[in-house]
Every structure is written in C-alpha cells, then in structure tokens.
Chains A and B, each alone.
Chain A
Amino acid sequence: SYELTQPPSVSVSPGQTARITCSGDALPKKYAYWYQQKSGQAPVLVIYEDSKRPSGIPERFSGSSSGTMATLTISGAQVEDEADYYCYSTDSSGNQVFGTGTKVTVL
C-alpha cells in the first residue's frame, strides 16, 4: 500500500526555521496537505494544495513540493508551534493516505 514517510521528530530553537518533509512516490502528481495537532486537540489544516495557507494560519507556515517530496516550513518557529504534524495526500487511485507524523519540539 502507498505510504507517506515523515521524520519522527524535528527540534528547533525559538525564532529558527523548522522544515518537515513528507516523501511519497505519487507526490509529483498529487497535492500535499499538512495538519497540525497540538496535544489533546483536534487536527487543524495549516497548508492545502502543496502551498496554500487557509485563512487564520500565520504567515510563518509555508509549504512547497518538488518531485517526490513535500515540505512544511515554519519560519521563525514559536513555542506555540510545538505539535505533531501530519502530511496527507492521495495515491494513484485517489485513496487517501496520512503520513507517519512528525513531532516538532521548540526549545
């Protein structure tokens, strides 16, 4: 079955840039989406269609995709950005797939 691979964890100091990658063979033709899930809370969409930011999401969140890798970038990470981040996409048949998740620590 199709898989989206993320690093288990990323650490960043406050004010620095965090980059979270998501690797999948279908990504050259499929959009990537990114969800933020803080501890004990529901997921929140932070990036859709590779690089678009929903209203209300801070500008420090950005997304890009090239080849088989999508990247979520947090520029000037804040303590409140500490969360689990999941990428999401579809396979060649349109079936939905979540990435393995990345725990972002800001300290």
Chain B
Amino acid sequence: EVQLVESGGGLVQPGRSLRLSCTASGFTFGDYAMSWFRQAPGKGLEWVGFIRSKAYGGTTEYAASVKGRFTISRDDSKSIAYLQMNSLKTEDTAVYYCTRDPQGVDGDGIYYYYMDVWGKGTTVTVSS
C-alpha cells in the first residue's frame, strides 16, 4: 500500500524552528518529486514547495510566502522528505501535508507535476 506519514508537528513560539518529516512506503520513493502543502484553519490548500527527484536534479521550488525561511530536502535511502521551517510566524499555523508528485505533460508539451497521494498531515501551531 502506498502511504505517506507526516511527523514532527507541534506547538512552537514565533521565531523558532521546526522540522517536519514525511516517511514514504509502498513505492520507489526516489522516482518521484515530493511536495509540501498546508491548510490554515478554515482555509483552502496552499502549496508550500516541492523537491524534484534526483533524476531531475533534486532541485527545489518554494512559495513566495516561505521562500528564504523554509527548506525542503530528501533522503532517498530512508524514503523521507523533510521540511525545515525557520523563523516561524503565527501565520504559518496550519496542517502540513506531504504529497507524492507524478509528472505529466500537457498539450503544450510542458512538463508539470500533480499530486496523487497525500499524507494525513501534521499540525503546526505557532504561538507565544
């Protein structure tokens, strides 16, 4: 069974750091890009960032709201993706989800990623 399990969430003070983990099982982790999303209470889904597979350079992209504060990495030997969150703000309070991202190609020949498997999420609360 394909599964993603997030961990590492909790209560943290503004300005502090937290590292989330996403442990994958049931598929070849290294073959896929992985994303992080978040959802603030009562709000919609917000993309946080993603990391490509090593075959595509293992490079990362981030949303403007977290760029420079958050870092995504991966350990293919352990099938784990990480989200390092520094300088946390109260507005970072949310449920954080990781996703498995297959690659597709559209009618313009542009490669893109979509999310086919989501973890159950881990809650991050930033408050003093």
- Using CB atoms and an 8 Å cutoff, list the residues of chain A in contact with chain B: 29-31, 33, 35, 37, 41-45, 48-49, 54, 86, 88, 90, 92-94, 96, 98, 100-101
Contact status A90-B106, CB under 8 Å: yes
Contact status A98-B107, CB under 8 Å: no
Q: Nearest Cβ in chain B — how far from A93, in angstroms?
A: 8
Contact status B116-A100, CB under 8 Å: no
Q: Nearest Cβ in chain B — how far from A70, in angstroms?
A: 13
Contact status B118-A96, CB under 8 Å: no
Contact status A54-B116, CB under 8 Å: yes
CA distance A44 to B121 in the complex (A): 12
B97, B108, B110: which contacts A43 (Cβ < 8 A)? Answer: B97
- Using CB atoms and an 8 Å cutoff, list the residues of chain B in contact with chain A: 44-45, 47, 97, 104, 106-108, 110-121
Contact status B118-A43, CB under 8 Å: yes
Q: Main secondary structure on chain A at its contact with chain B?
A: loop
Chain A residues with CB under 8 A of B111: 94
| Contact A98:B47 (CB < 8 A) given known A42-B97, A45-B116 | yes
| Contact A30:B44 (CB < 8 A) given known A43-B97, A44-B118, A48-B114 | no
Chain A residues with CB under 8 A of B119: 42
| Contact A94:B112 (CB < 8 A) given known A42-B120, A43-B118 | yes
- Top 8 A-B pairs, shortest CB-CB distance: A42-B118, A29-B107, A94-B112, A94-B110, A90-B112, A101-B44, A42-B120, A30-B106
Chain B residues with CB under 8 A of A90: 106, 110, 112
Contact status B104-A49, CB under 8 Å: yes
CA distance A5 to B77 in the complex (A): 41
Q: Could you jot down 12 A-B contacts, CB within 8 Å?
A: A29-B107, A31-B114, A33-B115, A35-B45, A35-B115, A42-B118, A42-B121, A48-B114, A96-B113, A98-B47, A101-B44, A101-B45
CA distance A88 to B115 in the complex (A): 9
CA distance A75 to B110 in the complex (A): 33
CA distance A30 to B113 in the complex (A): 12
Chain A residues with CB under 8 A of B115: 33, 35, 43, 45, 88
